[in-house]
Structure 1
């Protein structure tokens, strides 16, 4: 059996690619997908997640609805880094694949996570690639559940990079108090994959064409999703016909750790600064007296990532599944 993993997502385009990778790689045993408000509102996150799993023939993977808002704040702060469904929106509200046939499971994401972590007889891996609201709430209920986790792989933050504000990356900015809880919880290993790494693993239009040529549901959908990202990044800040696919770097890391290069460092989250709320403060000083609490990725191997995507998305467990190609998007 592969590494036992629970994905926590806010499914837009990059989450969708990460879900497909985790659901199709033979080295990953995807136990469940939990959802959270983030890239899109929770109802869209749920719908998109179910669409993805249905499309690749993995409808049996359970999906649980998580929190629709941050753990402390009434809602997201006022800043937005793109207008929903505009040309520079890399996600769109609804993914351009057929509507879901499956439905979410009874009970919420937090309830599922608490019960699963309490019952497990071997440590599980948590991979939250959206705002950390669900994971922080689980820890508030039972802080000892860190002992049931062998590693947390977080997509979020940035040291020299930011996106939603001049200081902050979206996932951390959207619920900075939750990010603080997770980073200070004392997990045995926490790997942080920030923008510094994901922006070094750009996927090109040529790579999208190779994925589309696979002719599989995952290859076809990934090419469509990543193509939208390239279009959006080109509209906002040209990346030379390529774009980051942030979340899949985390799932690729689960099976090929060399896809990123990390340093063990102290990391904190600013929850109060009027100009820096949501900033991840990574202490890279050689004489720092802080206690390292995260393995922070500063670099990534774009060639290795694309090779992994091509190999994994060539798999088609749903060969007799969906008959129609993705609709226009």
Structure 2
């Protein structure tokens, strides 16, 4: 039986690869995509999401737009004008203009209804700031209990990408993240930068993807190559001609949980620190008596992750076409 999931995204380059993987993998049933303010303004995130789904022939998947700002703050802890770097994320993805349209229902209302109607049957993968999730909890306290599992791309233990202490998705709306980690979800799995930076995709592997010649393989190759150039410009000490595709690792881990290695520990979010706002405080050495609330991925396996991208984005075989 295919696993049902809803993706909450802020598309974004790596989000686009995650959407394509979720929308095309034969073991997954992508029920819907919800969109939140993040890598670019929410209107751009929604447009990029629609472009991505249209491009891979999955315009049947509904898209719901959510919050355009954090749940408490007017903007990010550092306002957007000084924040995002187009070297990694683009306001408009290099895909044809969307012909499909977003749904009228706001994302938090949709999330509440979808998980209530199919309680315990759908996994939620959140790969952007957690504003939509916190807003859904506010209107529906039973939402966490109705979610089969919550997988989050975000946070870091020994890495960062926005301040010396914080990863962007958590930093962008720390109050929302704090609410989510306090909520009674059945299971939370956090895939932080520590894991995703072990599942790099190389320039040579982009060439391999492009050789498949499908819409998803060519788009993912172009997008990942853009990320590689951005990472080489921003992080010259990183692995040459390679880049992480953070959000897609979460989707891959839903298909094959062995792609990541986790520990069950306590996680809380710093919302007040002058230098540490947005930090994921991961008690992996059990320095407190706080109860474990999250399965944190400290490692990820590169080879099976890249293989899954390649296999999923390759042309369908005659037997696969017949089965579909």
Question: What value does the CA root-mean-square deviation take over the aligned residues?
Answer: 1.6
Q: Could you tell me the TM-score, scaled by structure 1's length? A: 0.93
Question: 72-81 or 265-274, which moves further after superposition?
Answer: 72-81
**Alpha-carbon distance, 1:56 to partner:** 0.2
**Alpha-carbon distance, 1:145 to partner:** 1.7
The residue that corresponds to 1:295 in the other structure is 295
Describe the superposition over 1:57-94 as per-residue Cα deviations: whole angstroms up to 9, x where unpaired.
Answer: 000000000000000001112267986564xx211111
Matched, 1:242 2:242: yes
8 Å contact kept, 1:27–1:255 = yes
Describe the superposition over 1:107-154 as per-residue Cα deviations: whole angstroms up to 9, x where unpaired.
Answer: 111111111122225431000100000001111112112221110000
What are the residue-to-residue correspondences of 1:111-122 with 2, within 5 Å?
Answer: 111-122=109-120
The residue that corresponds to 2:285 in the other structure is 285
The separation in 1 between residues aligned to 2:167 and 2:29, in whole angstroms, is: 29
The separation in 1 between residues aligned to 2:31 and 2:242, in whole angstroms, is: 32
Describe the superposition over 1:149-177 as per-residue Cα deviations: whole angstroms up to 9, x where unpaired.
Answer: 11000000000011100000000000001
Secondary structure in 2 aligned to 1:212?
helix
Question: 72-81 or 41-50, which moves further after superposition?
Answer: 72-81
Describe the superposition over 1:281-325 as per-residue Cα deviations: whole angstroms up to 9, x where unpaired.
Answer: 0011146422100000000101111000000011469xxxxxxxx
Describe the superposition over 1:199-242 as per-residue Cα deviations: whole angstroms up to 9, x where unpaired.
Answer: 11111001100000000000000000000000000001133110
The residue that corresponds to 1:262 in the other structure is 262
The residue that corresponds to 2:224 in the other structure is 226
The separation in 1 between residues aligned to 2:119 and 2:268, in whole angstroms, is: 31
Q: Could you tell me the TM-score, scaled by structure 2's length? A: 0.94
What are the residue-to-residue correspondences of 1:1-329 with 2, within 5 Å?
Answer: 1-78=1-78, 86=86, 89-238=87-236, 239-286=239-286, 288-315=288-315
8 Å contact kept, 1:217–1:316 = no
Question: 93-102 or 120-129, which moves further after superposition?
Answer: 120-129
The separation in 2 between residues aligned to 1:81 and 1:91, in whole angstroms, is: 14
The separation in 2 between residues aligned to 1:177 and 1:77, in whole angstroms, is: 11
Secondary structure in 2 aligned to 1:143?
coil
**Alpha-carbon distance, 1:277 to partner:** 0.3
Gaps of 5+ in 2: 318-324
The separation in 2 between residues aligned to 1:28 and 1:179, in whole angstroms, is: 26
Secondary structure in 1 aligned to 2:142?
helix
The separation in 1 between residues aligned to 2:5 and 2:121, in whole angstroms, is: 10
Pairs aligned (count): 315
- Displacement over 4 Å in runs of 4+: 79-86
Structure 1's 288 and 83: CA in aligned 2 closer, same or farther, altered over 3 A?
A: closer
Secondary structure in 2 aligned to 1:60?
coil
